[in-house]
Amino acid sequence: MKLGQLTGGGQDIAVTGFAIDHRKVAPGTVFGAFRGTRVDGEDYIADAIRGGAIAVVARPEAVVEGAVHIADDEPRAAFARLAARFFAPFPPTTVAVTGTNGKTSVVEMTRQLWRMAGHHAASIGTLGVTTADERVTTGLTTPDIVTFLSNVAGLAREGVTHLAFEASSHGLTQYRTEGLRIAAAAFTNLSRDHLDYHGDMAAYLTAKMRLFSEVLSPDGIAVVWADDPQADRVIDLARERGNRLVTVGERGATLRLVGRDPTLLGQGLVIEAEGETHHVNLPLIGAYQAANALVAAGLVIATGAPVGPTLQAIARLQPVRGRLERAAIARSGAPVYVDYAHTPDALEAAIAALKPHAGGRLIVVFGAGGDRDAGKREPMGQVAAAQADRVIVTDDNPRSEDAAAIRRMVMLGAPDATEIGDRRTAIAAAVRGADAQDIVLIAGKGHEQGQIVGDLVLPFDDVAVARECAG
């Protein structure tokens, strides 16, 4: 492909690829030079050109000598547009999901529902790239734009026709989810998270709303969990743009949840849709799992599936890795669950999901990550102290921070909690100390396979450790 075909200009120069890391530049590469919070890509323009870059996407004031300067006040957006033209085509039906909690579950449930309907479907998010027969871990909720678009194009070449992906606030702010036609976009909820990056809740919400104000196709459909306090913001925005709406939840107009009956291993849902009442047995416990399933169903319906069969397919949904996953049964008979909950609201939701099933105590093991929003640590402790019967505060990816200092901040909200810094020891104490009627919740890491300490990623899997301790 020629550069002029991408830019609309007359440059008869062959393009071989795109890169945002100068070390990955090869002859014929288009290089994106972006100013970040830690690294300024403009500092590496000369290195990229020496490596073979034939064009550089950067701010108008950047110095580019020896290559075509594609100048734009928002170089990330311009780079994404060009990269999308280079990597296309993509799966014809693509949907995106944003919100603080539930994104991973919703995209994976959407993939499952599409697969049950006979489509070749995939999802991209925190769990990686997931299809019916393989999973490739990317390590980020929203990977960089080059990785993202090349992965999506690869899925299309493999025959994937339906794709659901997570749109994180970071990814939306940094234009890492551009270039695809988004047929439907979903909003799950909004609560405190990532304020270390966004600064305040207003900026965080603005980042999320960009999915609906700019990324969603003009003729696309907005799918909204109507019971969230911020749902009206999304609904108003969709109406302003002329997008169709699919609303779900107790306040939903499309899929109205009128009843929820918890059972031993799941819950019975009563849903009103299209003037009919549907009774569905969801094989997952917890109110928020019902919310995730209904948002996923809303996306599938928004992309052309009939309502009745889609709702009945909910009964065949499989658990999502690290999302209220039953990891083990302790020797006493107590079930041990692992969940990714790492915000106050998510922790409260996970506890609320499990508490009705506990004949005895609900024992919670959790911590808080380092180099992340420190303001949520004490509220997480408060949630655990108020809702759980026994609380163990431990380490959870301390990164460059002092782990003991993080634990102290958490325990300001849970002063009577037990403090056990070593996560393996903490899990063992919870699992081995649980009685037959108790339930153990290990929160914070979910599907993650490592514990980040300083610059090291030490192998650690909450599910595997729980099973070892239960054995």
Is 448 annotated to bind a ligand? Reply is yes
Is 214 annotated to bind a ligand? Reply is no
DSSP alpha helices (H): ranges in 181-267? 195-198, 201-210, 231-241
Is 101 annotated to bind a ligand? Reply is yes
Is 99 annotated to bind a ligand? Reply is yes
Is 254 annotated to bind a ligand? Reply is no
Is 199 annotated to bind a ligand? Reply is no
Is 176 annotated to bind a ligand? Reply is yes
Lookup: tokens for 302:
């928004």
Is 174 annotated to bind a ligand? Reply is yes
- Sheet hosting strand 335-339, strand order edge to edge: 325-329, 335-339, 439-443, 362-366, 390-393, 418-419
In terms of phi and psi (left: phi > 0; alpha: psi -120 to 50; beta: otherwise), the region of 71 is beta
Is 85 annotated to bind a ligand? Reply is no
The answer to whether the beta carbons of residues 205 and 234 sit under 8 Å apart is no
Is 103 annotated to bind a ligand? Reply is yes
Cβ neighbours for 51, distance < 8 A, ≥ 6 positions apart: 22, 23, 25, 26, 27, 29
Is 142 annotated to bind a ligand? Reply is yes
Least Cα distance to 354 among 330, 320, 384 occurs for 384
Is 141 annotated to bind a ligand? Reply is yes
Is 397 annotated to bind a ligand? Reply is yes
Peptide bond into 89 cis (omega under 30): yes
CA atoms of 337 and 332, how far apart (whole Å): 15
CA atoms of 135 and 128, how far apart (whole Å): 6
Is 418 annotated to bind a ligand? Reply is no
CA atoms of 150 and 141, how far apart (whole Å): 16
CA atoms of 448 and 139, how far apart (whole Å): 9
Task: With H, G, I as helix, E, B as strand and everything else as coil, classify residue 451.
Answer: strand
Question: Residue 249: how many CA atoms within 13 Å on its side-chain side?
Answer: 20
The answer to whether the beta carbons of residues 455 and 398 sit under 8 Å apart is no
Q: Residue 312, class by beta-carbon neighbours within 10 Å (0-12 exposed, 13-18 middle, 19+ buried)?
A: middle
Is 168 annotated to bind a ligand? Reply is yes
Is 444 annotated to bind a ligand? Reply is yes
Is 100 annotated to bind a ligand? Reply is yes
Please report, in range form, the residues annotated as the binding site for meso-2,6-diaminopimelate: 372, 396-399, 444, 448
Which residues belong to the annotated binding site? Answer: 99-105, 141-142, 168, 174, 176, 372, 396-399, 444, 448
Residue ranges of the binding site for ATP: 99-105
